[in-house]
């Protein structure tokens, strides 16, 4: 009888251990701190992260400041997320240097940090799921050159000069123009912080300052939409090459206000970030960059299945 009781106790203990193990697996918590929430791009990244959380059976939260100027607020969000002692964390830096002290704390606590969209100038980041922004912006430069006949004045409306994406897209475009198109001059670079209204005002100012301006490159969704609004309000017609997707930008491409744009794969970025975080928790080796790809699209290929799959509203 004692042997039977011991067997029952052992069986119950093993079942409880299995249940505890399963519960522990379900309790894996991975917060994602994004650069903002105001653009459809980030909603698409969240969609990918949520799908990965469902597939991989982990808990994911996704938050970011209201605008991409709120570096201090993003740092507060990162600090609050780390205080919850997550198993890993995803981070898209507004300022690639400002977060380093907190990231060092994460490293000391053995919390793997996965970069997404916009990397951080630090080896603390295990990997970054992102578009190759320099290569994507170089393609935007090629398309701009093609549209304006290989010569003339162009300008850039950037979303910022502190994030990795802001710097890389600006430099990727400008460097490609300098390297390949000697008859094209980048006459100005202004920053609209990804804000539609501010970017629209910049576009109008650029047109006044440079009457011969042939084109504007907008480095993110807000910059491109703002450029389009500004050109419409000024009743001018110049070539705009944008970046990202979103309904307003797609509408402007279809009506000819914007010539075309580079699309990322935001759902893929979100998914790959969570997937990489789970792999990091397990101790699996990861590449420094997870390249999530990009395409150029305009009204001629916007419905192409491989392009349509990475566009978002």
**CATH of segment(s) 29-131+266-293:** 3.40.50.2300
Burial classification of residue 85, based on how many CB atoms lie within 10 Å of its CB (0-12 exposed, 13-18 middle, 19 or more buried): exposed
- The whole-number pLDDT of residue 138 equals 98
CATH no., domain 133-263 = 3.40.50.2300
pLDDT < 70 regions, the chain: 1-26
- For residues 44 and 54, give the distance between their C-alpha atoms in angstroms, rounded to a whole number: 16
> What is the structure's pLDDT at 15?
40
pLDDT value at position 7? 38
CA geometry: angle 73, 74, 80, nearest 5 deg: 90
Q: What confidence score (pLDDT) does residue 249 get?
A: 96
pTM higher than 0.75 for the full model?
Answer: yes
Q: Determine the pLDDT at residue 228.
A: 98
**Are 29-131+266-293 and 133-263 equal in CATH topology?**
yes
DSSP string across 72-137: HHHHHHHHHHHHT--S-EEE--SSTTTTHHHHHHHHHTT--EEEESS--SSTTEEEEEE--HHHHH
Q: How far apart are CA 37 and CA 34, in angstroms?
A: 8
Predicted local distance difference test score (pLDDT) of residue 119: 78
Q: Where are the domains of the chain?
A: 29-131+266-293, 133-263
Q: For residue range 244-257, what is the model confidence (pLDDT) as tens digits?
A: 999 999 999 999 99
């Amino acid at each position: 009888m004692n042997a039977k009781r011991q067997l029952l106790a052992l069986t119950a203990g093993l079942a409880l251990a299995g249940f505890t193990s399963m519960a522990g697996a379900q309790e894996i918590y991975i917060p994602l701190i994004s650069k903002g929430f105001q653009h459809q791009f980030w909603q698409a990244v969240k969609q990918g992260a949520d799908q990965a959380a469902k597939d991989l059976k982990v808990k994911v939260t996704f938050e970011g400041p209201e605008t991409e100027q709120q570096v201090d607020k993003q740092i507060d969000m990162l600090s609050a997320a780390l205080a919850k002692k997550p198993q890993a964390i995803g981070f898209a830096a507004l300022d690639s240097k400002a977060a380093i002290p907190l990231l060092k704390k994460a490293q000391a606590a053995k919390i793997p940090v996965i970069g997404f969209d916009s990397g951080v100038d630090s080896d603390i980041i295990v990997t970054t799921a992102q578009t190759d922004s320099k290569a994507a912006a170089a393609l935007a430069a090629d398309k701009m050159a093609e549209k304006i006949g290989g010569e003339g004045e162009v300008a850039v409306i950037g979303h910022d000069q502190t994030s990795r994406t802001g710097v890389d897209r600006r430099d990727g475009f400008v460097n490609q123009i300098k390297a390949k198109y000697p008859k094209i001059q980048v006459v100005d670079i202004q920053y609209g912080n990804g804000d539609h209204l501010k970017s629209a005002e910049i576009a109008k100012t650029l047109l006044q300052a440079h009457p011969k301006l042939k084109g504007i490159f907008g480095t993110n969704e807000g910059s491109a939409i703002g450029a389009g609004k500004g050109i419409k309000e000024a009743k001018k017609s110049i070539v705009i090459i944008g970046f990202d997707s979103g309904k307003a930008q797609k509408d402007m491409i279809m009506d000819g206000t914007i010539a075309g744009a580079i699309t990322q794969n935001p759902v893929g970025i979100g998914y790959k970030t969570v997937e990489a975080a789970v792999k990091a928790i397990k101790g699996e080796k990861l590449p420094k960059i997870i390249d999530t790809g990009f395409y150029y699209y305009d009204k001629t290929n916007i419905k192409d299945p491989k392009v349509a799959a990475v566009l978002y509203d």
